């Protein structure tokens, strides 16, 4: 395809966050141009992003020129698209309030509530029908398009796309590993006395599933970083580590990495996601109560924060239209545009992706959505095979893979009993009595979303 006539269908094109990041990155890339079809169930939000995208593309520093169009139907948005980007919010703030806060009645606390745990499962049940529909529409209107999914629960949503359209060319993308590379870069600077210019200079081998991702090899200029990390994790096990000490208290997205260090000391692999995600995959060691969370130096992400964060993003979008606001084109740090370049054959890329397991992790179930490195080149994503996950970690990862598969199967076959059994098997929920877990399932209306 010509790189100056690309069509990207953006499902969730009214996004206040991801859309702006993509727009900036596209504007900074001179080798690509074309049309972005913005589709969102909130058409007014898509129209707002059409205006913002046009302003960004017309910026004097923009070298990538794009036409942004708010499209009223998903069919029209997808028609003949070369790429599809999915970034949606499955549900309302009322849904999220029940996802995150209702389980607190039973003593279950969640730091995010969008991937596993009671909130993650309830969100999955809402998401699966949506992603079945999206996958089926892609099959009808742009079956050869490459699909990049950013929506959580990442593994469930991406797996559902393949359930809807087995021949789909879809990957899931997440930036959590990037942050761990930054941490390793900070470690190398402290312990080796070097300056790491770019987090990509930290070479890692990635394994596991999204938000419960692990690094089993890490090097900097051919120096094995694992022995250093063992010392680093021991040194900061109790105090935590940040480049700017104390910064973790400023934002729910920051932590002191104490959960990462504790997991390394227990399992001897480097956990490669934020502490607030990692904590939810475990029994409530780190999420026993709010004081425990504070002691481990990370945060519970409350509904109040989410509402205020959305209001902040809306306000930032509105400021784009004021005369005294200057758009500053800065790279987002995401790799979406680099992935487009690689799939178009412009430059190869090796990065972590969520993709069906075709043997890249031998001791995890076939076709499960796993996260590993992949070589991306023209019209091709080739997952990189990793070493088997150690048994003690594989046991934990497998539990979540099978639970997520059970939830998908339950929704697709309308099997409430299977959904309930998966729910009570989640490690956070299994910490309470079976009867209470069943009561929580019913009282949260997990199944009414189907």
Mean pLDDT (whole number) for 123-128: 97
From 12-16, 27-31, 153-157, 259-263, the region with the lowest mean pLDDT: 12-16
pLDDT at 310: 81
- Active-site pick, 175, 238, 277, 400: 175
The pTM for the full model equals 0.95
Task: Report angle CA 303, 308, 109 to the nearest 5 degrees.
Answer: 20
| DSSP annotation of 200 | G
pLDDT at 306: 83
pLDDT at 424: 97
Catalytic (active site) residue 175: yes
* Residue from 157, 213, 193, 167 nearest 361 by CA: 213
pLDDT over 70 for what percent of the chain?
98
pLDDT at 324: 46
User: What torsion do the CA atoms of 438, 443, 447, 448 make, to the nearest 10 degrees?
Assistant: 160
pLDDT at 303: 83
pLDDT tens column, 338-392: 999 999 999 999 999 999 999 999 999 999 999 999 999 999 999 999 999 999 9
Q: Which domains, ranges and CATH numbers included, belong to the chain?
A: 6-92+114-173 (3.40.50.720), 93-113+174-301+334-450 (3.90.1820.10)
Instruction: Give 302's pLDDT tier (boundaries 50, 70, 90).
Output: confident
Cα–Cα distance for residue pair 268/260, rounded to 1 Å: 11
HSE, CB side, 13 Å, CA atoms: give it for residue 139: 14
pLDDT at 323: 54
* Residue from 294, 266, 393 nearest 276 by CA: 294
Cα–Cα distance for residue pair 112/103, rounded to 1 Å: 13
pLDDT at 147: 98
pLDDT tens column, 317-336: 777 777 546 688 899 999 99
Contact between 440 and 106 under an 8 Å Cβ cutoff? The reply is yes
From 89-93, 162-166, 312-316, 349-353, the region with the lowest mean pLDDT: 312-316
Q: How far apart are the first and last CA of the chain?
A: 39
Contact between 436 and 420 under an 8 Å Cβ cutoff? The reply is no
User: What torsion do the CA atoms of 103, 270, 184, 22 make, to the nearest 10 degrees?
Assistant: -50
* Residue from 385, 420, 179, 418 nearest 278 by CA: 179
pLDDT at 246: 75
Mean pLDDT (whole number) for 105-132: 97
Q: Using DSSP bridges, classify how beta strands 349-356 and 270-271 pair: parallel, antiparallel or unpaired.
A: unpaired
């Amino acid at each position: 395809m010509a790189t100056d006539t690309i069509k990207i269908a953006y499902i969730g094109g009214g996004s206040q966050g991801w859309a702006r990041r993509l727009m900036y990155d596209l504007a900074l890339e001179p080798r690509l141009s074309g049309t972005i079809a913005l589709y969102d169930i909130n058409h007014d939000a898509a129209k707002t992003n059409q205006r913002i995208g046009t302003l960004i593309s017309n910026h004097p520093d923009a070298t990538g020129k794009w036409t942004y169009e708010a499209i009223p139907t998903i069919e029209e948005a997808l028609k003949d698209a070369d790429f599809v980007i999915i970034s949606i919010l499955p549900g309302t703030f009322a849904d999220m309030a029940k996802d995150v806060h209702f389980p607190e009645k039973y003593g279950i606390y969640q730091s995010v509530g969008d991937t596993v745990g009671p909130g993650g499962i309830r969100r999955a049940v809402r998401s699966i029908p949506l992603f079945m529909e999206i996958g089926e529409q892609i099959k009808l209107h742009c079956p050869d398009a490459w699909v990049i999914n950013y929506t959580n629960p990442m593994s469930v949503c991406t797996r559902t796309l393949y359930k809807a359209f087995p021949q789909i060319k879809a990957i899931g993308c997440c930036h959590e590993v990037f942050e761990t590379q930054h941490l390793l870069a900070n470690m190398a600077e402290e312990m080796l006395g070097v300056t790491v210019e770019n987090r990509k200079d930290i070479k890692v081998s990635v394994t596991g599933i999204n938000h419960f991702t692990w690094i089993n090899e890490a090097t900097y200029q051919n120096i094995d970083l694992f022995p250093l990390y063992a010392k680093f994790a021991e040194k900061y096990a109790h105090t935590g580590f940040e480049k700017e000490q104390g910064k973790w208290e400023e934002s729910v997205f920051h932590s002191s990495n104490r959960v990462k260090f504790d997991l390394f000391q227990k399992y001897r692999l480097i956990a490669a996601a934020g502490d607030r995600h990692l904590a939810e995959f475990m029994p409530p060691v780190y999420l026993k109560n709010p004081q425990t969370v504070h002691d481990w130096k990370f945060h519970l992400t409350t509904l109040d924060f989410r509402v205020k964060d959305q209001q902040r993003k809306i306000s930032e979008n509105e400021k784009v239209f004021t005369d005294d606001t200057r758009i500053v084109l800065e790279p987002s740090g995401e790799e979406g545009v680099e992935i487009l370049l690689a799939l178009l054959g412009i430059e190869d890329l090796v990065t972590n992706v969520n993709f069906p397991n075709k043997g890249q992790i031998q001791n995890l179930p076939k076709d499960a959505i796993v996260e590993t490195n992949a070589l991306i080149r023209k019209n091709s994503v080739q997952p990189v095979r990793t070493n088997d996950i150690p048994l003690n970690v594989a046991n934990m990862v497998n539990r979540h893979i099978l639970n997520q598969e059970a939830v998908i199967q339950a929704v697709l076959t309308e099997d409430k009993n299977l959904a309930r059994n998966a729910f009570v098997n989640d490690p956070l929920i299994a910490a309470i009595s079976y009867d209470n877990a069943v009561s929580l399932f019913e009282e949260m209306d997990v199944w009414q979303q189907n």
